[in-house]
Amino acid sequence: MVEVVSSPRRDIQAFHPFIKLNRLLADVPAGRSPAPDGRPIALQVGEPQNDPPAFITEEIAAAAKGWNRYPPPRGTEGYRKACVDWLARRYPAGAGLVDPDTQVLPLPGSREGLFFAALASTRPGRDKILLPNPFYHVYAGAAVAAGAEPVFVPATEQTGFQPDYARLDPAILDRAALAFLNSPSNPQGAVASKAALKAAIETARRHDFAIALDECYAEIYDDTPPPGALEAAAELGVGLDNMLLFHSLSKRSSAPGLRCGFVAGDPRWLDELDAALRVGGAGVPLPVLAAGTRLWSEEAHVAENRARYRANFDAAERTLGATLGARRPQAGFFLWLEVGDSEAAAVELWREAGLRTLPGAYMSVPDAQGNNPGAAYLRIALVYDADRTEAALRRIGEVLGASSARRAQA
């Protein structure tokens, strides 16, 4: 069995990495960055800097009369169909598994849906929420908000940077309400194999909890499209039982401000999530749905985005591969860079180079032996154009390379 760490209910801020980062750097003056104007460069947050397609504005303007209506909880028929059509193109083996009328729900981004999924799934006798460690902070924050007990499952280099829920104690699994599985993963950019996806789905079905499959980075990959949970479900049969699949336009279309995505899955769990969203008021306005409908139907801008991110990781290999051992991720746009002490490295990069990065220690909790699996890593978002990205990477190499040399001499 896998050794896990559970956490009692605590302040929701305890899991918010950017609050911790702001405190860490509050009294540290920023150095001059390698940007032409010398101003700091924000590499800590996964916010795409590529321009989204211009037609977003056109679609929103054409649907502007919709601003005077409350967002329809189930969206529009056109939006749901566009989501299902995209799923069929992206995961052809799963074509026909998703009914656009009963198995798709629009979301104001995947983050909001993931958060509400924890609220919707927790119930008496089902008070544990499983998540990887390291983790996307919304998973842990959602568990706390739902009054559930977060159970942190190792997702380290030894496990392929993915959690193995099938190896957990059955007593834990029988009390699980929800499990989060993120592939490609944030922060490591690791992809779960189809076999691993099937094992996770079968575990959720065997113990009757929902599995939230967060695939918001599914379109940002290096060479090979990551397998999806929809394909795994097609091979397993039994439709989408116990599954909730989350997708977003934030990364795919460089439109995080649009707040538009969807969840597809088991109608039983989808209805519970729908009810929670209706109570919470998190809907997608009609003009946004109009823009989203077109974005899910268009692929050229997505291929362009992939090419940009691929070039950024080429630059990371050139500049940091030899000196700092930068590992090229399978997908996503984060560099998960091993630096020894992530807090110290983040402070040094801010003070010496005006580069704001995120300590991996803030995206994980200590294991049973007190070891924080993210403490040695920095998460660096390679979301800028090629010139700015390469300049930032060179400066990272200079600053951290010099620190490494000083430690070696000490």
Looking at residue 11, what is its pLDDT?
72
Q: Mind giving me the DSSP string for 323-355?
A: HH-PPPPSBSSEEEEE-S-HHHHHHHHHHHH-E
DSSP state of 53: P
Sort strands 261-265 and 334-338 into parallel, antiparallel or unpaired.
unpaired
In CATH, what number does 55-297 get? 3.40.640.10
Q: CB–CB of 299/157 below 8 Å? A: no
Q: Which two tokens stand for residue 58?
A: 């056109």
> For the chain, which residues make up each domain, given as ranges?
16-51+301-409, 55-297
Tell me the pairing of strands 210-214 and 176-182.
parallel
Structure tokens at 403: 């620190």
Instruction: Identify the pLDDT of residue 399.
Output: 97
Are the CB atoms for 262 and 83 separated by under 8 Å? yes
The pLDDT of residue 7: 64
* Dihedral (CA of 255, 257, 258, 259) sign: positive
Reading phi first (left if > 0) and then psi (alpha if -120 to 50, else beta), residue 90 is in alpha
CB-count exposure of residue 279 (10 Å: 0-12, 13-18, 19+): exposed
For the chain (410 residues), the mean pLDDT of every run of 10, in chain order, is 68 86 97 96 96 97 97 97 98 97 96 96 96 97 94 95 97 98 98 98 98 98 95 95 98 97 98 96 93 98 97 96 91 97 98 98 93 97 96 97 65
- Give 178-210 as a 3 state SS string: EEEEECCCCCCCCCCCHHHHHHHHHHHHHHCCE
Tokens of 111: 């983050």
Structural class in CATH, domain 16-51+301-409: alpha beta
Element (H, E) at 143: helix 137-145
Q: Provide the b/e sequence for 11-36 (b: ≥16 CB within 10 Å).
A: eeeebbbeebbeebbeeeebbebbbe
Question: Cβ contacts of residue 396 below 8 Å, gap of 6+?
Answer: 319, 320, 324, 337, 349, 353, 355, 357, 380
According to the model, what pLDDT value does residue 281 have? 80
**Cis-peptide into 184, omega within 30 deg:** yes
- Return d(Cα 45, Cα 164) in angstroms, integer: 27
Specify the pLDDT at position 10.
62
Q: Which of 325, 323, 312 is nearest to 391 (CA)?
A: 312
44 vs 24: CA distance, rounded Å: 13
Q: Please name the helix (run of DSSP H) or strand (run of DSSP E) that holds residue 130, with its range, or none.
A: strand 128-133
Q: Coil, helix or strand for 283?
A: coil
pLDDT at 368: 86
Is the backbone peptide bond immediately before 40 cis, with ω within 30 degrees of 0?
Answer: no
pLDDT at position 54 is 96
DSSP reduced 3-state for 115: helix
